[in-house]
Structure 1
Amino acid sequence: MCTTPYNVYKMDLASSSSSAMAKRLHAAGSLRAHAGGKSIISLRSRRRTWIIGVGGDSGEVIIFDTKSPDPDKAVIHGPNLMSAKRCLVLTAVGDKIYAFCKRPSWTSDPDFPPWFEVLDVSKARVVSDGGLQRLKGCSWSSLLILPCIPWKLKPWEYYISLPCTMLTSYVLVAPYILVSYDQPSWGTHAFDTDSHEWHKIHNNPLPFVGRASRHGPIFLASSN
């Protein structure tokens, strides 16, 4: 696998003028990582303001600390996922990062079980290791997947009709992560990030595709 930099840019939004804003756009750093299939999120908690890239064929985690005064120490290498995931669903609640497999595979990586993992960085620390900054004191843990997904298959079911499903829409309404799959009969399920339990909350799937983002009291998303 080749390595490719994920460039990080910073923009000063103090001015409302588009031309002035363009002049204030500048490179803030570069995350060199294995190419392809990563998802990017921001983690904002009381102690951390990070930009995090997770997934791809390598299953690696790369972090950019936006508050680091030293650009050479802003890039942090985190622990790899338990199972590599391509174009995964990624979200953060407090100091916990949740990684969902978008298209589960029953045969091999990428996207092999565990399909749902969590990384708790609340007690993690950054240490220097061989000239690199690494995140220590934390590791990914597997979580229960949505109950309606058939995760245990008998041998003959592998060859007769291998399941195929895809997570199509999701939204974070803390402390819940709401998800829907391309199976309308499954409806909408919510994962409680406090109790780590699943609950079916509606018989219909979420009325949008992809991720919904919060904007004040409303959520914005692409319509079906």
Structure 2
Amino acid sequence: MAHNPRLIALSVFCIAALVLGKAPLAATAPPPTPVGGSFFDQFDDPKLFNDPVKSRWKTSGTVTVANGTVTIGNPANNMENVWIISAAEYKGSFTMEVRARLLSQPRMWGGYGLWFRMPSITGIYRDGGSGYTFDYVYGYRGATLLRWPNSYPIGPKAPIAIDGRWHVLKVVARGSQFQCFVDGQLVTQGTDSQYPSGHLGIGTCYRGCVQVDWVRVTVP
């Protein structure tokens, strides 16, 4: 059967037009970072805490949940940088309260900090992340309010005793103004506007190990 050259050429042209004119498949965009709200976590559900999808926390290092507490760090081998960080991002004002006690010994720089306004889920201290920390650390011999990286102080150091008893640490963030409390007493405060929003967390530094009873975050 004879082939019509003009018909063949027209068919090839139509196929090429369809192929070339087809829009490329759009890449799947990552899910948006959730915006955080108020919560009170007593760490009484280990399964939920460790669920990679449903948990409000992302973790790194030796983190264990048992008997209604979460232990951040390993008392037997605690040189690693260990943390829990909120999956959600907090914008604007919030209050973060943590009831915790140090398990690490008073040596070197062992301690922990309340982390906030972190642009990414990356540990601060030795991990090189950014944000602010309210630190309860042996090496500082008191409580400090710092901007990271490079541990830049944005408030005066509070010369308080560092011990292994249970304490409630609190950060109140109102815009660029921060107030930090230990057991209800204002110990330091500062102002800085470099990080207007970000994640919240608790992390240890250099031989630090901390046990956390609960975390309360309030968004006005």
> Higher strand fraction: Structure 1 or Structure 2?
1
TM-score normalized by the length of structure 1: 0.30
Query: Does 1 or 2 have the higher relative contact order (CA < 8 Å, sep 6+)?
Result: 2
Query: Normalized against structure 2, the TM-score is what?
Result: 0.30
Q: Which has the larger radius of gyration?
A: 2
